[in-house]
Each structure stands twice: as C-alpha cells, then as structure tokens.
Structure 1
C-alpha cells in the first residue's frame, strides 16, 4: 500500500516559453497545453521535445521494457486527460507527471482501499473528490518517475523525491515527481494564449 502526505496545491506562474528553453541538471520545465483533436498524441509530444532535441526524428519514441518513452540525454514524462496535457522535462533526474480533469469520483473509496494506506485513505475521505484526484496524480507521477505503471506498483521502490501538486486552470489537477531530494528550479510554460 502506498501512503504519503499530500503536498500543498500550488498556484503556478504559467508563462510564455522562451524560444529556446535551456535545461541544466537542477531544472524542471513544466508545459501545459491543449491537444489538437486530429493530431496524433505522439506527434504533439515530439513537437514539444524538439525544443530540447531539434533533430528528433519522426520515428516512434523508444520505450523501456515497461513502456515508458525515453530519449538519450533527456528526462521527460507527460500525461493527458481529456484535451489537457502536461509535459515535465527534467535536467537530469527521472521525472513523472500525471494530470486528471476535476470530476466526481464515485469509486474513490474503493480505489483508495486498493492502492492507498490508512492515513491517505482518511485524507481522501475527509477531502472528497479533489483530495482523491490529488492523491491519485501524486501516486501515478511517483510510479511514472520510476518507470513503473500502476499495475506493476509492487516493483516501485521507496526513493527520495520532490513533489508538487498544482491546478491546471480551473479544470484539472496535476502532480509532478522528480527523483531528487532537493527541489529543482521550476519553470512553468503555457504556449497558448492565457485567458
């Protein structure tokens, strides 16, 4: 069972990205964007990854044996819910991110009993749907940072990490986990017109 205290939900200063974003070993870039309805998701992901690797080819991205996409020299992870997407790119540490549209979760108690420990189940019970979605995004981001999926959760190890939970507009909540005990310098990019 996974049991972790939930971090505060941050209100982030989303900004237009620079033309050529730069990463160093202690930097985290978070991108929030809307998925176009008729564009394959991997095409969209490659478009954003080309900010960091301009010569990235059109071929499908390589994947680890457990299915996590990767590129040499770039730590990244992304998540989408409905048409919202969040991409996390880390300068050197493994990263995982998950986003969920805010919505009623009638099965939250049953899901919490299956995946979460007693103290987190209590927090979900007290906090309702938003607390459940925050806990779920944290849990998935933590697993994804380790390259493990929800159904391989027993493989995940307890490792030191930095976490942030944040709202994506007024429609969604997300969490990002970076496998480093020290907080990275974070930049929050929204390439679309704010409104």
Structure 2
C-alpha cells in the first residue's frame, strides 16, 4: 500500500538533509526479497534462511556508513508491520544508527493532528494517539502467516512486546519532526503543571 511518489520525496529530503550521495548503495527492504511466489526464484523461506536483514545490519557499510532509514508516509504505517518494528529493534540492538525519512504529507498530518488535539485541551498521550505516534507493536502484522509466527517468537524470546514497544516508542520520540516534538513538549509541560 505504499505511494511511490511520497516515499521517493521522503527519501530525497532525507538524502539532502544528511548529504547522502545519489551513488550510495542502498538496501531497500521492499525490493530486497523475491516475493512473487512463482517458481522462478527462491522461496521466501529460502531467502529468510540466509538472514538477509541481519547480514545487512552487521555489514561495515551500514554500521560505519549511513546506517538505516525508517521511511514514514501517510499511505502505510511502518509501525503496523511486524517486520518493520522488528528491524528497527534489531538494528538498534546491533548498534546501527537508525534515522527517519518522513514525507511532507506525513509531517503535516502529524502536526495538524497534534495541534488539533492540543487546541481541544487533550493531554500529551491523547495527542500522541491522535497523531499516530503511540506504539502498540503487538498489533503489527505480516503478510505471510509463517513470518508472523516466527517474528512473534523472536519478540517473545527477546523480552516481549512491552519491551519492543518501549524501544520503538523511544525511537519514534527521537525522530519526531521538530514541529511535532515542540507541540508535544508544550502539552507535556502543561500536563505537568496540572
């Protein structure tokens, strides 16, 4: 369900902000695995057995280079994808720098929602829910039931969904656009006064 133009815009802004050259090699998860399910390529299970994401995040090019980028658009919530929340967690645990690319529409919509809920006198938690910033990783899903089962098992082995929520929530707070972070800080300050 991703909108290519919005994704491309987010990545272009990210590359400009962090001075990433257009010739920089990129591993883009959406294109990384052969997924049509035909007989012309390896199966998803065969590919997963090679641990492609782990190989990438353990590589010197990623660890010493530009790290990992989590792309945010209005068309698809990456935190609703179990693979994505797992990958953010795994990359952070591996010591990879994880940053965010956000489309202009994503930033505008998050800021609009927070502003609206602030105007309506809502507390910080409500504002975060309204802007889609709150985290509930156990509702994240996979398109393939086998992947979902495998990832739930990994999450459970690594401390459970409450731990994963905490990791992802901290990441989300760190990468909030300034206009959203500022609004949330202001409402949090008001909450503390009450």
Q: Which structure's CA Rg is the greater one?
A: 2
Per the TM superposition, whether the score is higher than 0.5 is no
Which structure dedicates a bigger proportion of its chain to helix? 2
Name the one with the larger strand percent: 1
TM-score with structure 2 length normalisation? 0.29
